[in-house]
Chains A and B, each alone.
Chain A
Amino acid sequence: MTSSKTIVLRSSDGATFEVDEAVALHSLMIKHRIETGGADSTTIDVPEVTGNTLSKVIEYCKKHVEAPNSDDLKSFDTDFVKVDQAVLCHLAKASYYMNIKGLLDLSSKTIADMFKGKTVEQIRETFHIKNDFTPEEEEELRKENSWNLFV
């Protein structure tokens, strides 16, 4: 009988999560840390990610490692990213640091889909972005992009 090794992941705010090693290895960053870690590689610190986000990331990895060929994987992914904007951005950043390609692609695409078809002003509103162009620059941009129904 093979014993499945577990790894403890510790978030930036001290929360700890025990996960199967196979699940943890879904993150290439953790895989690298384990392989180069040495003796005390059962607890891995992930200071770039908070507890809330880390718990969601682990949920993603569990599903993808334990049932990679399941029919409902696609609907799992679709539902997984139905979260509010802030959570989505934190997930994207975490997937980047933890080097989880699937989650990185999924969250990037979801964020990009949020700007499709929106006007410039709508994009700024949705993502709380400050317009730092001068009025003259804005006018210039408007003129040059008028074929695009620049708004």
Chain B
Amino acid sequence: METRIDFLEWLEPDMAFKILSCLDDSADLVRASAVSRYWQKIVVSNGLSKQLCMSTFPQLACITHVVGPSHENSSERDHRAYASLFRALTSFPLTYCIADPVSASSTDNYPQESIMNTLDPRDTIRSRGSYWSSKGSNDPETLIYSLTANICVITEINLHPFQALFQFDFPIYSSRFVRFRMGHPKSCNELNYDFVDAQECADGKFIWTYTSQMFPVIQQNRLQRFKLPEPVICIGGYLQVELLGRVQKQASDDKYYFCVAHVQAIGRQLSPAFSVEFSEPSNNVSLKYDVEKFGLTVSNRQNASLSTGLLPVQPPRQLAWGNLQDFMQIVEAHDDGVEYDVWVDELDPIL
């Protein structure tokens, strides 16, 4: 019987480390760590899973430690957590990641032109425009949203500039450029406040750890796609959309406005398998890993394509006229109490 020499043991430890570091998928690293004790030692004690995560997703550098099953020693725990994290970041299902609006830097007519409207993909609801409008000025504006999990990986953000079909010449109130930031609140207490209703800007309450390039926006009435050059991990769960460069004046007051019909962020949410916690004031960021929930997400995975059923606000389903009670409930749910007079005034230039 031939003697089996483990070639990795025959090579220098540095070499074994170098070879295993070339693996660019955590699944391969996990299998490598199960080949023999020596291989397990190289992979686990050198933190190769963590190294792979950090080199592929530099935003993870802020994580100071992992909180996971307590029976394991820290290298084993890190190995398993980071291998699972890599898997989650690259293959959990894509979904829409915006949950709620947090603030708009300004709003022209509140609540008719509130940032809340940007969650709905429609730009017209029952013949009224559904959009957010800034006040008239020359400054950049920001829209801040909370995401569906406090750790997500975002691949693209889409924006639909609003075209005012009720105004002469059908102006499109887009911006010249858009830029995105992601981050976390300076302190969780600061967000126990309704910035939307108070019409205040919450920018100063956040630490933005990622800022994208500036993307040019086209002055067209359609959903425009801004694919991030590399997927970006949002640690903290907040997204800021910054609009720069005014292009469209409103004829009636000669001021420049921005109006947005819809914003959506597409990516993978990592909860409930993973979540992050910020400890104040030390700025430690811990990554919490739930093994069971991770296993459940992996086994429940469907390869369904992204459907609008996953958006936070959906167009109402087709009405069955036989069910009048349902119909009334839907009408009441969408009633925002706007005076019809406002819209009549804005139509004046056309009449």
A96 within 8 A of B: yes
Number of A residues contacting the other chain (C-beta, 8 Å)? 34
Residue of A whose beta carbon sits closest to that of B32: A115
How far does the alpha carbon of A4 sit from the alpha carbon of B34 in the complex, in Å? Answer: 52
Nearest-CB distance from A119 to chain B (Å)? Answer: 7
Chain B residues with CB under 8 A of A82: none
Contacts A128-B2, A129-B6, A132-B37 given; does A145 touch B11 at CB 8 Å: no
Binds A, one of B13-21, B95-103, B203-211: B13-21
Contacts A145-B30, A147-B294, A147-B295 given; does A96 touch B6 at CB 8 Å: no
B194 within 8 A of A: no
Nearest-CB distance from A99 to chain B (Å)? Answer: 12
How far does the alpha carbon of A109 sit from the alpha carbon of B15 in the complex, in Å? Answer: 11
Please determine whether B36 and A130 come into contact, CB atoms closer than 8 angstroms: yes
How far does the alpha carbon of A127 sit from the alpha carbon of B35 in the complex, in Å? Answer: 10
Nearest-CB distance from A137 to chain B (Å)? Answer: 9
How far does the alpha carbon of A93 sit from the alpha carbon of B34 in the complex, in Å? Answer: 24
Within 8 A of B (CB), among A64-109: 85, 89, 92-93, 96, 104, 108-109
Within 8 A of B (CB), among A92-151: 92-93, 96, 104, 108-109, 111-113, 115-120, 123-124, 127-133, 141, 144-150
Chain A residues with CB under 8 A of B25: 116
How far does the alpha carbon of A149 sit from the alpha carbon of B10 in the complex, in Å? Answer: 29
How far does the alpha carbon of A123 sit from the alpha carbon of B18 in the complex, in Å? Answer: 17
B23 contacts which of A115, A124, A127, A133 (Cβ < 8 Å)? A115
Could you give 23 example pairs across A and B, Cβ below 8 Å? Answer: A92-B11, A93-B10, A108-B22, A111-B19, A112-B20, A113-B22, A115-B28, A116-B23, A120-B31, A123-B35, A124-B35, A128-B2, A128-B4, A128-B5, A128-B6, A129-B6, A129-B36, A133-B37, A147-B299, A148-B27, A148-B31, A150-B30, A150-B31
Residues of chain B whose beta carbon lies under 8 Å from any beta carbon of chain A: 2, 4-8, 10-12, 14-15, 18-20, 22-23, 25, 27-28, 30-32, 34-37, 39, 80, 83-84, 87, 294-295, 298-299
